[in-house]
Amino acid sequence: MRIERSRQLHERARAVMPGGNTRSSVFESPFPLYAASGSGAWLTDVDGNRFLDFTNNFTTLIHGHAFEPVNAAILRQLPFGASFGSPTELEIELAELLCERVSWFDHVRFTNTGSEAVMMAIRAARAFTGRPKIVKCEGAYHGNYDPVEVSFDPTPENWGSNRPSPVPYNSGTPASVLEQTVVVPFNDIAATKELLHEHAAEIACVLVDPMPARAGLVPAERAYLAFLREFTRANGMVLISDEVLNFRLSHGGAIGRFGIAADLCAFGKIIGGGLPIGAVAGKTEFMAVFDPSRGKPPVPQAGTFTANPLSMTAGIAAMRAMTPETFDRLNALGEAARQGLREAIRGAGVPGQVTGLGSLFQIKLNDRTLRSYRDQYPDAAERARLAKLVRMVRDKGVLISSTGLGALSTPMVQADIDRLVAIIGDACKEARA
């Protein structure tokens, strides 16, 4: 594999960026491969190496690279302007599209990122309830916001024994942030119920990812989601579904796939057609805290590039193409990928399993029963094996994330899945040898 151009670019980057990096999620040692172009399911780097791309910018590119309807929509808008200090019809159109497809969305409010969407949903919950504390599941990632980064990546040395201990993610996180975040164990009704009862009078919201990637891409159990729905409703709390990554699970989003409606939803990624976007949606009574029509709202929200026409028109094109039939085809391909990968790993004779739903999969190099963050937590040896596998697969022409996560895109066909399965099977055999 040719790497010289990527090596040169990394040296340039080190002169102007800390560690040569401006996005921690793409950091690699000694240096990453720099992308040059993408087309459909394929990405080409600056040295001319070509890869079947299952990262899809961390699940964002549900139509793969350079999707023609999105490209055409952006080109139609560009001559008329990229951003304005005024609203546009395009934001109404995308909001209408989203409300039409998710039964419990009455109103939508756009942001620039998924992190912003989660932040604004939490602010809405606090304003609605008048309470300060939030609840999140141990090991779940909800973006770059101090309260939700608590216990994002705790270790056995600091996560506590009988109940999760709030653990800061960033150095310098104020102690007050830890005091305002209640951490509960994912899929454990009894322990979660105990903690919720203990803090009930102060809890504004419960934030749940229906299938948290950093907790092993293990789906929430229906009984657990049903318990959260019942408890929050009975105790005046707001239930927030974080679907920034998992909105791609079905035509009606992630939590709807489990037959449960939250009060608010924070989402993004696929709804922007590859451009920056985020959104908060939900029932009128909860979304009303953003309403400025009667003076200063309880939660003012602005943003220079929020609902910019390029993101809106790209999102409209991308989401119009995601019909129920398209979701069904892509999710069936995802199930074929998970089943094929399980068989390939088993055939290679290495411990491993594949988690996920819909168009998402994650390879775990263990054979433990997985229900929560702690179940899937890899020790140093397991992390080293996975890192080696990811590198070997990349060298064979397939990209998956450093955590073993993969996301399918609509240009993919069964032949691409067969290629993925064969290459990971071969890499597992080589790793075992």
- Domain containing 59 — which CATH number? 3.90.1150.10
Domain termination residue (choose one: 265, 299, 320): 320
236 lies in the same domain as 381: no
DSSP code of 149? H
Q: Is 362 exposed, middle or buried (0-12, 13-18, 19+ CB in 10 A)?
A: buried
- Residue by residue, DSSP assigns 57-104 as HHHT-TT-BS-HHHHHHHHHHGGG-S--SS--HHHHHHHHHHHHHSTT
Of the chain, the percentage scoring pLDDT greater than 70 comes to 100
145 lies in the same domain as 43: no
What is the model's pLDDT at position 431?
Answer: 85
Number of domains in the chain: 2
What is the model's pLDDT at position 179?
Answer: 96
Question: Which contiguous run of DSSP H or E holds residue 221?
Answer: none
Mean pLDDT of 324-353: 97
What is the model's pLDDT at position 69?
Answer: 98
SS3 content of the chain, % helix, strand, coil (to 5): 45, 15, 40
Residues in contact with 127: Cβ distance below 8 Å, sequence separation at least 6, in sequence order: 289, 298, 299
Whether 415 and 41 have beta carbons less than 8 Å apart is answered as: no
What is the model's pLDDT at position 256?
Answer: 84
Closest CA to 397 of 422, 366, 432, 371: 422
Secondary structure (3-state) at 230: helix
Domain termination residue (choose one: 253, 287, 320): 320
Cα 266 to Cα 20: distance, rounded to the nearest angstrom: 31
416 lies in the same domain as 364: yes
164 lies in the same domain as 262: yes
Cα 428 to Cα 184: distance, rounded to the nearest angstrom: 35
Cα 370 to Cα 220: distance, rounded to the nearest angstrom: 11
Q: What is the pLDDT of residues 112-152, one digit of tens each?
A: 999 999 999 999 999 999 999 999 999 999 999 999 999 99
Instruction: Answer yes or no: is pLDDT of 67 > 90.
Output: yes
295 lies in the same domain as 338: no
Cα 251 to Cα 171: distance, rounded to the nearest angstrom: 39
- Assign residue 264 the CATH number of its domain: 3.40.640.10
400 lies in the same domain as 273: no
Domain termination residue (choose one: 320, 335, 363): 320
Q: pLDDT category, 422, cuts 50, 70, 90?
A: very high
272 lies in the same domain as 337: no
Mean pLDDT of 219-243: 98
Side by side, the strands of the sheet bearing 238-243 are 107-111, 278-282, 264-268, 238-243, 203-208, 133-137, 181-184
Model confidence, pTM: 0.96
Q: pLDDT category, 413, cuts 50, 70, 90?
A: very high
What is the model's pLDDT at position 351?
Answer: 95
Whether 38 and 245 have beta carbons less than 8 Å apart is answered as: no
123 lies in the same domain as 164: yes
What is the model's pLDDT at position 433?
Answer: 78
What is the model's pLDDT at position 206?
Answer: 98
28 lies in the same domain as 102: no
72 lies in the same domain as 173: yes
Cα 237 to Cα 321: distance, rounded to the nearest angstrom: 36
Mean pLDDT of 56-83: 98
365 lies in the same domain as 341: yes
Q: What is the pLDDT of residues 154-181, one digit of tens each?
A: 999 999 988 899 999 999 999 999 999 9
Respond yes or no on whether the N-terminal peptide bond of residue 30 is cis (omega within 30° of 0). yes
200: domain range?
A: 68-320
Instruction: Answer yes or no: is pLDDT of 78 > 90.
Output: yes
21 lies in the same domain as 148: no
Mean pLDDT of 40-61: 98
